[in-house]
Amino acid sequence: MSHFSQIKTQIRNVESLKEALTELNIDWKQGPRPVRGYRGQTHDAEITIEQDNGYDVGFKWNGNEYELVADLQYWQQDLSVEGFLRKVTQRYAFQTVMKETARAGFQIAEQQKNEDGSIRLVVQRWSA
């Protein structure tokens, strides 16, 4: 029986995910690579985050989105699973918004981080 948990996310763009993890100073490895779990069990994932305890965290494509894959019994991140996913998802969303606004010809006019952790962006585009 597998000890791995697979947690659904709304993450669909691997490049934005990589940028979000890098921005959060999370050391990740490009896959496919095995995510190590209980008693030598592994799961292949596109992104792997090695932990000091020998058990890994990964993001695996399920055909629709990237799922977080880990043996949660051996979770060793600074935040809870929910807190980790919330932080990664926020940075992922920020990266995605930045790319899409630039692609549409917009520039960031104002960026503000609020006390609740949310980010307020004002974008503008000059037209001729």
pLDDT of 2: 63
Q: How far is CA 122 from CA 5, 6, 104, 109, 111, in A?
A: 38, 35, 14, 5, 6
Q: Judge whether 75 and 86 are in contact, CB under 8 Å.
A: no
Confidence (pTM)? 0.84
Residue 49, token pair as written in the block: 């985050």
pLDDT digits (tens, 9 = 90+) for 17-26: 999 999 999 9
pLDDT digits (tens, 9 = 90+) for 69-103: 999 899 999 899 999 999 999 999 998 988 888 88
User: Which domain covers residue 120, as residue numbers?
Assistant: 5-124
Name the 3-class secondary structure at 66.
Answer: strand
Q: Is the pLDDT of residue 127 over 80?
A: no
Number of domains into which the chain is organized: 1
